[in-house]
A and B are shown apart, each in its own frame.
Chain A
């Protein structure tokens, strides 16, 4: 199965592409509604500002086909901002509406620690996880963000703690997302991507 990478021009799609390539996955970039509609599996990478990503999804008319595909059961993996975009809204751009596939707001991490939360951190398992299968409980993942989904729901399978606890990995049927960057997280990150590829197969 081919994984379609949503290229919204605001993230480093190339690094995710390279990571998938190394693992032997077939992938293609997509920036149009038609490509999203036809996708067998979708990956939304994201670095940068919530506003930039949502605006691109709106302007290129990608919002509806993306939400439809996820609701239809197409395997989906959101990375970093690609996780945050799933919620109702984000404090980073309060006037914009998120994809509303999950309830709640994305909030700024509390300024009790150095921000951005940048570097390698561990996660705590909250529920059985398909994405984290085969990964040591004390594995580190690479994070680079200042906003996070702090409210946890039943889709939260792992949380990370930095100033406060926030959603690190979520899984809801075909919809998966991680706040860290698996493409930058060494062997542990590669295993997350392999596990997602297995879900796509």
Chain B
């Protein structure tokens, strides 16, 4: 028996609305997070990720309320992040109804945040989000929503994050994000074969073949996408039937 490969719709939210953009810019409104969450829950999504793209202090209460509204609609796990800088921030997100938190920029600035949250809430609740960008023959970690380089090698950072207690890696290819040209298989395979925890691949998905490839050649444990689900370009159920027909274990019927 093997674990089903997970299909994860991602809701990038700004306050109380879902937004979408290309390469983290040109944001457009894409709907109500709770309504989208309910739709994906019914369509067979295996998990939902909600990310606060603004991650600003003064809009934190709005984001927490968004998590509460989304969580109320779900009978599947919910991961939430964006702007989590402390154990107390993480606690607020988990209390609002998330099962896992994602850490990104703040963990680069202060890696102990990973161990602190992992000890407090368990490794299964701590997802290290890495935004990686190709730079010569390696991938570098990008922070602050992909704007700045952290001058860290993505593979080394993934390993360090897991050693510190991250229970999962959410790996976004900044080169592929928003391009719909397929996941970054080389990047995902490099990280997934290095770390001992599950890896969620993100960035670049459009076609069912992209998903099949990232699960086989990329060794991804889960695949995340946003706009192709929001815009109904790719219905989740059909995607899973496609994967199942190719021998990739997915949760069906759903």
Instruction: List A residues at the B interface (Cβ < 8 Å).
Output: 12, 14-15, 18-19, 22, 47-49, 111, 113-122, 124, 136, 140, 142, 144-146, 160-162, 181, 183-187, 189-190
A12's contact among B4, B76, B97, B254, by CB below 8 Å, is which? B97
Give the top 3 A-B pairs by smallest Cβ distance, nearest first.
A48-B122, A120-B4, A144-B124
Q: Contact check, B196 vs A186: say whether CB atoms are below 8 A apart.
A: no
Bound: A145/B99 CA distance, A? 13
A186 touching B3 in the complex, CB below 8 Å, given contacts A12-B97, A49-B122, A119-B221: no
* Closest B residue, CB atoms, query A49: B122
A190's contact among B75, B121, B221, by CB below 8 Å, is which? B75
Cβ contacts under 8 Å, B21 to chain A: none
Q: Contact check, B75 vs A144: say whether CB atoms are below 8 A apart.
A: no
Cβ contacts under 8 Å, A181 to chain B: 77
Q: B223: CB under 8 A from chain A?
A: no
B residues 117-146 with Cβ under 8 Å of A? 119, 121-125
19 interchain pairs, CB-CB under 8 A: A14-B95, A14-B97, A47-B122, A48-B125, A49-B122, A118-B198, A119-B46, A120-B3, A120-B4, A120-B46, A121-B2, A122-B1, A124-B1, A144-B99, A160-B1, A162-B1, A184-B75, A184-B99, A185-B76
Q: Contact check, A145 vs B124: say whether CB atoms are below 8 A apart.
A: yes
Cβ contacts under 8 Å, B210 to chain A: none
Bound: A189/B254 CA distance, A? 12
A119 touching B6 in the complex, CB below 8 Å, given contacts A114-B198, A146-B124: yes
A146 touching B123 in the complex, CB below 8 Å, given contacts A120-B251, A184-B77: yes
Kindly count the residue-residue contacts between A and B in the assembled complex, taking CB atoms under 8 Å apart: 92
Q: Contact check, A117 vs B77: say whether CB atoms are below 8 A apart.
A: no
- Min CB–CB distance B122 → chain A (angstroms): 4
- Min CB–CB distance B117 → chain A (angstroms): 11
* Closest A residue, CB atoms, query B96: A14
Cβ contacts under 8 Å, B1 to chain A: 121-122, 124, 160-162
Q: Contact check, A114 vs B254: say whether CB atoms are below 8 A apart.
A: no
